């Protein structure tokens, strides 16, 4: 039996990744589906995925699964066969990364949670299956042309600061749990307008669109497959992209380049930059934007205090 947890440090895992002779595919998927025994299901997934060399982060709950993964190219067929032949996953939609490298994840981590998305909602109070209409990239673009249409970013502020749809409402929130009530407040008096929701891969819009319909919004729509699928469709169909900048992603890449527009600024010097970093001081690990010059000067730290701690750790 495969081990059901990682036992190696990040240095060892990174070195292994660098030595791999094959390419990897970064992808994500989610599904709301009843999972009766999430802990046993978690162990089943860990055994199956680790045997295929899959890395990534997965959340499992009684309500379903939310996964971001790095799959070896030479194991992809076996990976897809496993999913498609599984009663919980058959026909699940996979979203492949817009930009990719083998360093999106260095280990496999599967956690059991109360919910696969921390939304702060009581699902017993509304029908979570009555979601908004799922729009393709072409349909989303066309709907944006109507002056009465309202486009809403369902992501956190650190995601939208590096990229967004032109003219979208950008709630200034740190978590999805905060975003939904903020959006309802911002849309006060607009219940009959056409509402277009979007997020990274679509999972946040599933709950958000169902909730907006529940509280009385009459024309709720969501971007099918999120920004990831939108970008693939735009490029494949040679459509105009109405999203500018970068798409923030929740793996070690921290972003995918969608257009050449740089719409954010370095937290230190104020020059244009959209490079997210986690503070090099491991006791801090704050997420922030920092240009290359400041990263060199600050050793990848977000404050002078963190820089001092980091430099002291090098001297030890």
Q: Which two tokens stand for residue 62?
A: 């009684």
Cα separation, 219 vs 133, in Å, equals 9
Going by C-alpha positions, the residue among 68, 70, 63 that lies closest to residue 16 is 70
Q: How far apart are CA 152 and CA 172, in angstroms?
A: 12
Catalytic option among 199, 266, 279, 291: 199
Cα separation values, 225 from 25, 136, 137, 239, Å: 17, 8, 9, 16
Catalytic (active site) residue 199: yes
Distance CA 220, CA 84 (A): 30
Residue 18, C-beta contacts closer than 8 angstroms, at least 6 positions apart: none
- Closest by alpha carbon to 258, among 156, 165, 176? 165
* Cα–Cα distance measured from residue 262 to residue 172, given in angstroms and rounded to the nearest whole number: 19
Residues annotated as part of the active site: 199
């Amino acid at each position: 039996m495969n081990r059901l947890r990682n036992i190696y440090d990040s240095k060892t895992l990174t070195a292994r990744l660098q030595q791999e002779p094959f390419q990897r595919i970064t992808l994500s998927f989610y599904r709301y589906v009843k999972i009766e025994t999430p802990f046993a299901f978690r162990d089943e997934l860990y055994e199956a995925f680790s045997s295929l060399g899959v890395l990534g982060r997965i959340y499992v709950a009684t309500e379903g699964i939310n996964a971001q993964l790095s799959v070896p190219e030479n194991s992809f067929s076996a990976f897809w066969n496993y999913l498609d032949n599984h009663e919980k996953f058959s026909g699940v939609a996979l979203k492949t990364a817009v930009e990719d490298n083998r360093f999106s994840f260095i280990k496999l981590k599967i956690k059991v949670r109360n919910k696969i998305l921390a939304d702060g909602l009581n699902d017993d109070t509304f029908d979570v299956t009555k979601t908004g209409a799922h729009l393709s990239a072409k349909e989303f673009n066309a709907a944006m042309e109507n002056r009465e249409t309202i486009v809403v970013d369902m992501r956190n502020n650190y995601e939208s600061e590096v990229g967004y749809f032109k003219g979208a409402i950008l709630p200034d929130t740190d978590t999805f749990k905060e975003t939904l009530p903020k959006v309802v407040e911002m849309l006060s008096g607009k219940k009959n307008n056409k509402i277009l929701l979007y997020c990274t891969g679509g999972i946040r819009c599933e709950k958000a669109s169902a909730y907006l319909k529940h509280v009385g919004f009459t024309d709720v729509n969501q971007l099918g497959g999120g920004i990831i699928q939108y970008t693939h469709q735009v490029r494949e169909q040679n459509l105009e992209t109405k999203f500018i900048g970068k798409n923030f992603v929740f793996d070690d890449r921290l972003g995918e380049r969608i257009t050449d527009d740089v719409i954010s600024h370095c937290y230190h010097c104020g020059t244009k930059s959209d490079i997210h970093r986690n503070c090099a001081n491991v006791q801090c690990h704050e997420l922030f934007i920092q240009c290359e010059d400041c990263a060199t000067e600050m050793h990848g730290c977000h404050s002078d205090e963190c820089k001092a701690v980091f430099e002291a750790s090098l001297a030890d």
